[in-house]
Amino acid sequence: MGETPKTALLHQIRRSSRSVCANLAEAWRKRRYEAAFVAKLNDCEAEAAETQTWIEFSVKCGYLNVEIGRELYGTYNQILSGLVNMINHSESWLMKH
């Protein structure tokens, strides 16, 4: 039996949202090296934006309530804001030698 479109979207949201957390954990451990740290934060930013896209699709397809979709989308806006701040001020997050 094939995967339904609703299930496929759910899997994508789970994958990308988990990837935000996993990439942030990796970034945190790479704070010794600014380029590696920023690269992982950029991966987090991309995955968070992807999650927002899947949330939008879920709402537009009627799989997710509009209000819940707005709340989730707003949460990811806050996450993205924090990530962009960390990227733009990466030197203040680096481990001191």
What pLDDT, on a 0 to 100 scale, did the predictor assign at position 1? 62
Using alpha carbons, select from 42, 53, 37 the residue that is nearest to residue 80: 42
Domain residue spans of the chain = 5-90
Query: Does the pLDDT of residue 42 top 70, yes or no?
Result: yes
Q: What is the mean pLDDT of the chain?
A: 96
Tell me the pLDDT tens digit for each residue of 4-35.
999 999 999 999 999 999 999 999 999 999 99
- Region 41-68: what's the mean pLDDT? 98
pTM for the whole thing? 0.91
Q: Which percentage of the chain shows pLDDT scores above 90?
A: 94
DSSP type of residue 95: P
CATH code of 5-90, in short, is: 1.20.1440.60
Q: Which percentage of the chain shows pLDDT scores above 70?
A: 99
